[in-house]
Amino acid sequence: MKRGYVALTTGVGLMALVLAGCASVKQEGEDYAAAAFKLLQTEFKSKGAATIERITQRDSAQTLCSSPTPPASAQAAELEKAQLALIKYPQGQNWLGDWKKGEAIAQNGRGMQSSDALGSANGANCYACHQITKAEISFGNIGPSLYQFAKLRGGNSPDLQRYTWGKIYNSQAYRACSVMPRFGHSGILSEEQIKDVMALLLDPASPVNQ
């Protein structure tokens, strides 16, 4: 992984970092998940954009997806349905911004870290998980390649626009417990930033579709 943060969507990764220290706070009869959370509450301090509130799971999706046992198919379907209902689409169906700004957002791994100034714009760190443009030679492969995203899907259709917006805004609407951050739902990216990333993926002039 070449850049800064990848947002933790389920809390599993964060819990794994502290389990080794749980023995020092675990009481008899207490489970390790509760001990890990206790340790976080005790040791984690707010600094800059990284605040203590972020250690608290905010919805049922985080709780379900933090379980060591994958959700059953019926649970996954219900989670996806609930998350789909939470997606906020842009007013006026104005989907696309500036692909050049979208590329800068995709390259930017800063945001929500203790070293970031409060109120500073977050990046999306897209290249940590995806190939996007042919020119970029350093990218992750946790997610699928997005190179020629619109070109391979028949162009910039209304259905593709709606799906792409939803996937960026709340990935769990399409795949329960997805490791992709819920960029819009979690407030990582603003509506205008999502529009710019949309343009990067869908604009025929974008290097993605060359």
- CATH code for the structural domain at 1-210: 1.10.760.10
pLDDT by residue (tens digit) across 131-162? 999 999 999 999 999 999 999 999 889 999 99
Report d(CA 74, CA 108) in Å as an integer: 37
- pTM score: 0.80
Per the CB < 8 A criterion, the answer to whether 80 and 96 are in contact is: no
pLDDT in tens, 35-70: 887 887 788 888 877 777 777 778 889 989 988 899
| CA pair distance 102, 133, nearest whole angstrom | 12
**Amino acid at the residue 143:** G
What angle separates helix 99-107 from helix 191-202, to the nearest 10 degrees?
A: 100
**In the chain, where are the structural domains located?**
1-210
Residue 176 has pLDDT above 60, yes or no: yes
Amino acid 33: pLDDT? 74
The rounded distance, in Å, linking the Cα atoms of 22 and 15 is 10
